[in-house]
């Protein structure tokens, strides 16, 4: 354990934190367990010292949830486990496991696939606790739906298994409560899927002047596309084309013919004759897709990020998105539109707010002198979305910046009961919000 003021504390305080717009918050101490027994000991130590507890899995939260004043940071980076059961198709993995960089290739060697985060360096811990918006969520569901069990150290300092039949309250909360989960998950048990045999994508690039026409068409069309296709529209600054609107569709299917049929609707884009670039049903690989994600999410940067679930007709939603898409504040910033249509009914889990369209704006930069400008742009872009916003997603949220509902009223009330039963003294710090 490294206490505040000791040698090495500052490095441990922000170790593995992705967003380098670092906070000034000062934990009481940092502990780096290497076993589950170490986690149990850390929780019990915090109780004895009168400290509250915060947890770091992968360090990718934009708000740096794990860095909290006067709390004990339990940094799970030292827990390293992956094991696959051929008989059940279930993989067990530690929370700090990187979904794309570590879990994905491990499973691919076994012909299996899991819906990890798009950025390959995201750890599975926070990702799954927040619901898990992974690959092809519109067709395959949320990654949290594939969590069959979790191993948890409770506020009482006990290690328990939680699943649908034992400790079901913790199992329910572990699938969507996010940083408000009242415990330390030490191991996830995840149902995997067969690795798709064929990956192909369609990519169409347009000038930003075509934004209204293209996005209106996409808004009215995306629900009709085969659910084997992940649909994302984004604005970014291409090194050759400059600021562009990209309509992308990734088919994850059995063969080239199925991909061709699934991607056919994109050939009816009414602005296609004005496209700056068109790739139609081009073969790709999961590795290539993850490499592109890594390029768009550079390490060592300061970040401001926000998001919204959008609902309404194109005549209202498209104008509300315009600032976020057509006025990026710098050449590294990007905004994504992610299809979830047609919506699938959610299972009984804490994650409970979604709509047909997810929008998130990501602003990376390096110079602290640009903090105010970039954050002001993001605030204005998100303010435009407010009239068509149905909620927000924990995974791309900083609740100090803006708070909208991430859980339904019913789920929020149920979570309060879990707190009352499992952590009445609120040992775990929970959400960071002003």
Tens-place pLDDT, residues 91-124: 999 999 999 999 999 999 999 999 999 999 999 9
pLDDT tens digits along 28-57: 999 999 999 999 999 999 999 999 999 999
User: What tokens were used for 67?
Assistant: 């860095």
| Residue the block writes with tokens 């934190």 | 17
Q: Identify the DSSP state of 370.
A: G
pTM of the model: 0.96
pLDDT tens digits along 180-201: 999 999 999 999 999 999 999 9
- The pLDDT > 70 percentage for the chain reads 100
pLDDT for position 404: 83
Statement: residue 429 has pLDDT above 90: yes
How far is residue 337's CA from residue 296's CA, in Å, rounded to a whole number?
A: 15
Supply the mean pLDDT for the chain: 96
Statement: residue 434 has pLDDT above 70: no
Angle subtended at Cα 321 by Cα 362 and Cα 409, rounded to the nearest 5 degrees: 80
The domains of the chain, with CATH numbers, are: 2-77 (3.30.43.10), 79-195 (3.30.465.10), 198-396 (3.40.462.20)
Q: Where are the alpha helices (DSSP H) in 130-280?
A: 137-140, 168-174, 211-221, 256-263
| Residue the block writes with tokens 């790739």 | 279
pLDDT for position 403: 75
How far is residue 238's CA from residue 334's CA, in Å, rounded to a whole number?
A: 10
pLDDT tens digits along 300-338: 999 999 999 999 999 999 999 999 999 999 999 999 999
Statement: residue 433 has pLDDT above 80: no
How far is residue 40's CA from residue 342's CA, in Å, rounded to a whole number?
A: 43
C-beta of residue 338 within 8 angstroms of C-beta of residue 360: yes
Query: Where is average pLDDT lowest: 58-72, 204-218, 394-408?
Result: 394-408
| Residue the block writes with tokens 């990956």 | 199
pLDDT for position 184: 98
C-beta of residue 130 within 8 angstroms of C-beta of residue 142: no
pLDDT tier at 287, thresholds 50, 70, 90: very high
pLDDT for position 398: 84
Statement: residue 63 has pLDDT above 80: yes
pLDDT for position 79: 96
Nearest by Cα to 418 from 170, 57, 245: 170
How far is residue 332's CA from residue 330's CA, in Å, rounded to a whole number?
A: 6
pLDDT for position 401: 77
How far is residue 342's CA from residue 362's CA, in Å, rounded to a whole number?
A: 25
Q: Bridge partners of 232?
A: 248, 338
Q: 205 to each of 244, 297, 345, how far by Cα in Å?
A: 6, 20, 33
Please state the φ and ψ torsions of residue 241, each to the nearest 5 degrees.
-100, -15
pLDDT tens digits along 204-261: 999 999 999 999 999 999 999 999 999 999 999 999 999 999 999 999 999 999 999 9
Angle subtended at Cα 215 by Cα 209 and Cα 216, rounded to the nearest 5 degrees: 110
Residues 6+ apart with CB under 8 A from 101: 120, 121, 290
pLDDT for position 376: 97
pLDDT tens digits along 83-92: 999 999 999 9
């Amino acid at each position: 354990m490294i206490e505040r003021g000791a040698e090495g504390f500052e490095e441990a305080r922000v170790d593995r934190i992705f967003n380098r717009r670092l906070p000034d918050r000062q934990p009481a101490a940092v502990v780096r367990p290497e076993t589950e027994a170490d986690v149990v000991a850390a929780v019990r130590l915090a109780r004895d010292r009168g400290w509250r507890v915060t947890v770091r899995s992968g360090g990718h939260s934009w708000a740096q949830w794990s860095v909290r004043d006067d709390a004990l940071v339990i940094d799970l980076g030292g827990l390293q486990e992956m094991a696959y059961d051929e008989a059940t198709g279930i993989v067990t993995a530690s929370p700090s496991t990187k979904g794309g960089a570590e879990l994905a290739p491990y499973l691919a060697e076994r012909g299996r696939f899991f819906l990890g985060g798009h950025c390959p360096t995201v750890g599975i811990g926070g990702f799954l606790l927040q619901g898990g918006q992974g690959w092809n969520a519109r067709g395959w569901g949320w990654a949290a739906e594939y969590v069959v069990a979790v191993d948890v150290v409770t506020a009482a300092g006990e290690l328990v298994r939680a699943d649908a039949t034992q400790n079901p309250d913790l199992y329910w909360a572990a699938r969507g409560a996010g940083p408000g989960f009242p415990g330390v998950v030490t191991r996830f048990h995840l149902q995997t899927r067969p690795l798709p045999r064929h990956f192909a994508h369609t990519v169409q690039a347009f000038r930003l002047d075509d934004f209204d026409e293209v996005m209106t068409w996409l808004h009215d069309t995306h629900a009709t596309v085969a659910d084997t296709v992940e649909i994302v529209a984004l604005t970014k600054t291409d090194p050759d084309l400059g600021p562009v609107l990209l309509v992308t569709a990734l088919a994850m299917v059995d063969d080239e013919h199925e991909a061709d049929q699934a991607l056919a609707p994109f050939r009816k884009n009414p602005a296609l004759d004005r496209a700056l670039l068109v790739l139609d049903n081009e073969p790709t690989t999961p590795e290539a897709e993850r490499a592109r994600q890594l390029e768009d999410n550079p390490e060592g940067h300061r970040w401001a990020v926000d998001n919204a679930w959008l609902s309404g007709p194109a005549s209202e939603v498209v104008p509300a998105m315009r600032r976020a898409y057509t006025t990026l504040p710098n050449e590294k910033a990007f905004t994504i539109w992610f299809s979830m249509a047609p919506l699938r009914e959610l299972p009984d889990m804490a994650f409970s707010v979604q709509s047909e369209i997810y929008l998130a704006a990501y602003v990376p930069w390096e110079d602290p002198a640009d903090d105010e400008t970039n954050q002001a742009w993001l605030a204005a872009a998100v303010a435009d979305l407010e009239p068509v916003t149905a909620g927000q997603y924990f995974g791309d949220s900083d609740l100090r910046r803006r708070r909208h509902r991430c859980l339904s009223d019913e789920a929020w009330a149920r979570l309060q009961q879990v707190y009352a039963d499992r952590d009445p003294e609120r040992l775990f710090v929970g959400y960071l919000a002003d």
